[in-house]
Amino acid sequence: MPVLKRGSSGPDVLTLQSTLKQLGFDPNGVDGKFGPGTEAAVIAFQKSKGLTPDGIVGPNTMAALQANAAVAGANVSGGTSSASVTTGATTTAVTVTAAQVAKMFPGVPLSNIQTNLPFVMQALTAAGLGDKDMVLMALATIRAETGNFTPLSEFQSEFNTPPGGPPFALYDHRTDLGNQGPPDGKNFRGRGYVQLTGRFNYQIHGAAIGLGNQLVTNPKLANDPDIAGKLLASFLKSKESKIRNALARNDLKTARKLVNGGSHGLKQFKEAFNIGKTVIH
């Protein structure tokens, strides 16, 4: 989508106005014309998310709008704005106990689950992801990403660090992650329950959960249990429709790939998900 500012017009502006209005920032009309009302609404949104309040919808502001629209159940991209096809709000929420989840995490101390499960469930419920499918998706993701049901930082490995090189240097110039060179690789390595990785993800999901730019300036916040739960929910919410479609086909490989980008941890993910199906009702 092009940069949008005062004087812009067309379907992209119409989408922008609709999204702003849905998020509670009234553009004073949805007419496809970027005037003073739309500019004021953009500035108000930017201020609420800790972004530069310039009234211009560039890549950073658009990313924040997309993330917040996803959490709100909307989709803003390519000039369209529509409600999510299926959301947790239209399905039956489940009640999950630590004892049930422990069966999905063999060998993990029950205290880890008792401490962290409330943060995860509260965040999923708030995001409309409290139904069985999405709860299983979240829990199985935690099993694949952290294993021990605690938010943690990514360990140094051959996948992120070159032989004899600085830790996490292989991430430094990953433009697909939004990284801009050292020390971005180390600063924005995987963290939390979902192992959120890359400047781009820290930026858009930090803004989506109401932290503005705090997660970029202080990435270690991603390991706070409350924040980690909200980041997990925000990340899953941003891919909700595709995840639900994959789960409806029992295509766990695709569901895992939508989070990880590959098949890392697929065995653990499948095992946890299938055990969860039998113990969570």
Mean pLDDT of 68-97: 51
Asked if residue 90 has pLDDT above 50, the reply is no
Domains of the chain by range and CATH? 11-83 (1.10.101.10), 89-152+228-279 (no CATH)
Over the stretch 32-73, which tens digit does the pLDDT of each residue have? 899 999 998 899 888 888 888 999 998 888 878 877 776 554
Rg (the chain; Cα; Å)? 19
Q: In the block, which residue shows the tokens 């939004």? A: 178
What local confidence, expressed as pLDDT, does residue 91 receive? 55
Sorting pLDDT into bands at 50, 70 and 90, what band is 74? Answer: very low
* CB-based burial label for 78 (10 Å; 0-12, 13-18, 19+): exposed
164: left (phi over 0), alpha (psi -120 to 50) or beta: left
Q: In the block, which residue shows the tokens 């801009």? A: 180
* Beta pairing partners, 271: none
Q: Are 269 and 143 in contact (CB under 8 A)?
A: yes
For residue 3, the SS3 value is coil
Amino acid residing at 14:
L
**Which range has the top average pLDDT, 29-38, 76-85, 91-100, 124-133?**
124-133
What local confidence, expressed as pLDDT, does residue 71 receive? 58
Amino acid residing at 193:
Y
pTM score of the predicted model:
0.70
Q: Which residues, in sequence order, are CB contacts of 234 under 8 Å at separation 6+?
A: 67, 70, 71, 127, 205, 208, 209
Mean pLDDT of 190-217: 94
Sorting pLDDT into bands at 50, 70 and 90, what band is 11? Answer: confident
Helix (H) or strand (E) holding 270: helix 266-279
